[in-house]
Amino acid sequence: MEELSKRLLKMIEFSLGCTEPAAIAYNTAHIAKYMKKDAKKISLEIDKMTFKNAFAAGIPNSNGLTGTKNAALLGYFIGDTGKSLEIFTMIDSSVLKRVSENGIDVEISLSEKKELYIHSHAYDDIGNEVEIVTRKTHTGIVEIKENGKYIFKKKAKKAEEEIEFEDNCFEFNALRKTVNELYKIDDLRNKIKKAIEINLEAIEYSKRYLDPKINPAYGAIYARMGGDSVEIASCAGSGNKGIVAIGSLSYIAKMMRFNEEDITKAVILSCLLTSLITSKFGFVSSECGVIHAAGVGVIAALLYLENKLELFYDAFKNYIEATGGVFCDGAKKGCSMKGYVALEMALRAIDLAKNSMTIPNTDGFLGESFKETIFNLMQYDPYFKLFDRETIDILERKS
C-alpha cells in the first residue's frame, strides 16, 4: 500500500498554465544563464506531441500570448529556473516589453522522437552558442552545452517518465478497502485535500465563463487553456484531467452533501482510476485523457460515494460506448468541450445504469470486464497515433 501511495503522490502536481509551454519556457530560461551576450537566434527542435500541445495553449500573465515561440521567448527573458513549471508566475511588464521589442529569430523544427524532447540552440552575434536539452519529463534537463563543450550531461531514466500501476488495480472487489487504506496515509491524504481545495477555487473562478452548476469542468478548463492565471492541481500528468477527476468530482459531491472525509476518499479513487488508465495509454497520449481516463474516474468515485460500486461496469460500458475514440488534437480552449462531454456523459451513464440500462458485453470493443475492455481499447492505440500526423500537418499550415 505504501508503494501505491507513493505512485499516486507523483500523480498529483500543482501547476500554472499548460505544461508544454511551461516546459519550453523552463528549457529556454536556462539559456540566459550561459549566454554572454543577448541571443540573436534560438533554434528549437521539439517532439510532435509537445508541438501539438503548445501550439494554441494560452500563457498565463502574458496579456494573451500563446504558442511555442512566445513560450520560448518568455522563458529566455525570464531567465530564472527557480519556479520550475510555475515559471509563468515570474512574467512582469519588463519581460513582456522585451518580448514585444526583441529581434530574436526563433526557428521551430519537429523531432521524430517518441518521447518528450526539447532541444534549444541559441546563438549571439559574436559566435557564442548554448544548447539545452530536455528529455522525457517536462523539467528533465539532461544536457547543457556551451560553445560545443558539455557543462552538464545526464542520462534520463525511463522511470522518470512513466509510473506503472499493477493490473490488480482493475479488481473492483477490493477497491473500497484499498481506498480506506490509502486514506490513512498522511502525505497522500493531505496532498489530495490540498488538490481539492485548489481545484474548487479554480471552479469558483470559472463562474465568469459558465455557471459550474451547469457543468463544473467547462469554465475551469476554458480559463486554463486560454491562459488565465489559475493554479490547478493536475492528475496523471494533466491539469485538465485534474479539473475533472478532482475538482468537478468534488464540486458535484459537495452539491450532494457528502462530508469531507467521504469526498477525499472518492477523489483518491478517482485519481487511482485516472492514473491506472493513463498508465496504459501513455502520459502523453494520442487519445483524449479527459475522456478516456478522468471521466471514468468520476464514474467510479460517484458510485463509491453512493455505495453502488457494483454498478460501475454497467455505467462504464454506457459511457465508453458513447465517448470511446475521441482523439487529442492538442491543448487549447476547445479542450473545455471535451471536459464538458466527459462529465455530462459520466453522469448520464450512471443514471442509465441505475435504471438497469446498459450495453451488452458482446457489442464492439466491449469485453467481459473493465480490464478486458481497456485492453481492447489499447489495441486501437497505434491507429490513433496516425491522427497525430494529420494534426501536426494541419497545425503547421496554420503556423
Tens digits of per-residue pLDDT, 230-247?
A: 999 999 888 999 999 999
What pLDDT score was predicted for residue 157?
55
Instruction: Encode pLDDT of 263-319 as tens digits.
Output: 999 999 999 999 999 988 877 788 999 999 999 999 999 999 999 999 999 999 999
Q: What is the SS3 assignment for 134?
A: strand
Residues 91 and 192 in one domain: no
Instruction: Encode pLDDT of 89-132 as tens digits.
Output: 999 999 999 999 988 999 999 998 878 899 999 999 888 999 99
Domain membership of residue 56 (yes or no) is yes
Domain membership of residue 2 (yes or no) is no
Q: Report whether 55 contacts 395 (CB < 8 A).
A: yes
Lowest model confidence (mean pLDDT) among 154-163, 166-175, 240-249: 154-163
Residues 359 and 256 in one domain: yes
Residues 103 and 174 in one domain: no
Lowest model confidence (mean pLDDT) among 61-65, 82-86, 156-160, 364-368: 156-160
Domain membership of residue 4 (yes or no) is no
Residues 187 and 313 in one domain: yes
Q: Report whether 114 contacts 47 (CB < 8 A).
A: yes
Q: State the average pLDDT over residues 221-234.
A: 93
**CB burial readout 220-233, b (16+ within 10 A) else e:** bbbbbbbbbbbbbb
Residues 168 and 307 in one domain: yes
Q: Report whether 199 contacts 220 (CB < 8 A).
A: yes
The beta-carbon contacts of 62-71 under 8 Å, at least 24 apart in sequence, are 62/88, 62/91, 62/96, 62/227, 63/96, 64/227, 65/99, 65/227, 66/227, 67/21, 68/21, 68/24, 68/44, 68/108, 69/106, 69/108, 70/21, 70/99, 71/20, 71/21, 71/22, 71/24, 71/25, 71/28
pLDDT confidence tier of residue 163, bands split at 50, 70 and 90: low
* Lookup: cell for 278: 493513463
Q: What is the SS3 assignment for 16?
A: strand
Domain membership of residue 5 (yes or no) is no
Q: Which residues is 120 bridged to in the sheet?
A: 44, 132
pLDDT at 322 over 70: yes
Residues 242 and 96 in one domain: no
Domain membership of residue 351 (yes or no) is yes
Q: What are phi and psi of 250, to 5 degrees?
A: -65, -40
Packed helices 186-205 and 2-11: angle between N→C axes, nearest 10 degrees: 20
Q: Which of 303, 173, 283 is nearest to 236 (CA)?
A: 283
Q: What is the DSSP letter of 287?
A: B
Residues 62 and 191 in one domain: no
Residues 243 and 344 in one domain: yes
Lowest model confidence (mean pLDDT) among 39-43, 118-122, 252-256, 388-392: 388-392
Percent of the chain with pLDDT over 70: 96
**How many domains does the chain divide into?**
2
pTM of the model: 0.88
Instruction: Encode pLDDT of 78-90 as tens digits.
Output: 999 999 888 999 9
Q: How far apart are CA 318 and CA 198, in angstroms?
A: 31
CATH of the domain at 26: 3.30.1330
* Lookup: cell for 270: 478517482
pLDDT at 10 over 70: yes
Average pLDDT, rounded, for the chain: 92
pLDDT at 195 over 50: yes
pLDDT at 159 over 50: no
Domain boundary among 108, 140, 160: 160
- Number of residues written out for the chain: 399
Q: Which residues contact 150 (CB under 8 A, 6 or more apart)?
A: 143, 144
Domain membership of residue 9 (yes or no) is no
pLDDT confidence tier of residue 341, bands split at 50, 70 and 90: very high
Q: Which domain holds residue 354?
A: 162-398
